[in-house]
Amino acid sequence: MSVLTQVAPTGEGAYPMATVQQRDTQPDHSTYSTSTSGPVPGKAILFDTSKRELFTPATGFKTLTNRLKVHWSVGVQQHELTQERLQGVEVLVFGGPRDKFSSAEFDALRQY
């Protein structure tokens, strides 16, 4: 699993910083449609808001979320992280969590 942290351009109008985790597995892009008519099945981005994040898809990531919705299925996760909830998710976004993760959530993230 690769982890990118504190992704933010500098200067006026900069985007909020975020932590992004993406799976190392490479999907088979030959099965994806190149149509721009909407999100492609199997390409999911999940924004976690269960830890009182500073930035959510509604506040801070609104423009990003709207742009991602064109080619990705975008969801919001408001409950404890589990392996079942992470099933089928390609990108998991944490927008500055303020609460601690439980050991069960860390285990689910390790398996992810």
**Length of the chain measured in residues:** 112
Q: In terms of Cα–Cα distance, which of 50, 49, 52, 61 is closest to 16?
A: 61
Beta strands 91-94 and 19-22 are antiparallel
Q: What does pTM read for this prediction?
A: 0.61
- Which of 3 and 91 is assigned the larger pLDDT? 91
**Rounded Cα–Cα distance for residues 108 and 24 (Å):** 16
d(CA 22, CA 3): 7
Mean of all residue pLDDT scores within the chain: 74
- pLDDT greater at residue 17 or residue 79: 79
